[in-house]
Amino acid sequence: MDLAGSERLSKTGSDGLRLQEAKNINKSIAALSNCVSALASNKPLNFVPFRDSKLTRLLTESLGGNCRTTICACVSPSLIHFDESYSTLLFAARAMSVRTRASKNEKIDFKYVDENGRSVSPMGAESQNELFLKNQNNKLINKTNELKQEVAMLKAQLQGKFKSTQRNGDMGSEQLSYISDNMSAYDA
């Protein structure tokens, strides 16, 4: 961001629209200087006035956030511009003492696909939803196995009663053939 025009108004002799622009630029630079001073101080919980100007609002992340910032201060070797050069160097010295901790804002999440085409997290790390579904699936498998055992036990009891009824001759041949046909349907 170029902040050219931050010189003394008495030296430039600007008027009208240029004068208003120079005033607004100088206000923004003063607000930026206040923010840099607040960030450079080592006081904990120090208030940083980022909302004082549009410039400082735009530079909020650059000054105190998660990014790397470079400030280039240009000075003049001329004695006429000594005051501006001196204030620029003071500002640069304060800006150098601001420390930010920049880190990458990316999260890489690799998904592996198993032989069934389902996505699997790396190193066995499973999501909460996957764990819940696996738990529910295991419960249903256990319940199915219990019901199969119960059906087999009831079938064995029924076959025992069927054989005893067949021996005693309590039922007719039509009823016995109907029962044996229906019992064979449950073998699957």
Could you say which DSSP state residue 169 is in? T
Cα(77)–Cα(107) distance, rounded to whole angstroms? 48
Overall pTM surpassing 0.75 (yes/no): no
Give the residues across from 119 on adjacent strands.
113
Residue 27, pLDDT above cutoff 80: yes
9-96 CATH, one of 1.20.58.980, 2.60.40.10, 2.60.120.620, 1.20.1630.10? 1.20.58.980
- In this structure, the number of other CB atoms found within 10 A of the CB of residue 12 comes to 12
CA separation for the pair 144, 150 (Å, rounded): 10
pLDDT of 83-142, one tens digit each?
Answer: 888 888 888 888 888 887 777 777 766 666 777 777 666 555 566 777 888 889 999 999
How far apart (Å, rounded) are the C-alpha atoms in residues 172 and 180?
Answer: 13
Q: Tell me the one-letter amino acid at 46.
A: N
Give the residues across from 112 on adjacent strands: 120
Query: How many residues does this entry show for the chain?
Result: 188
Domain spans, the chain: 9-96, 126-185
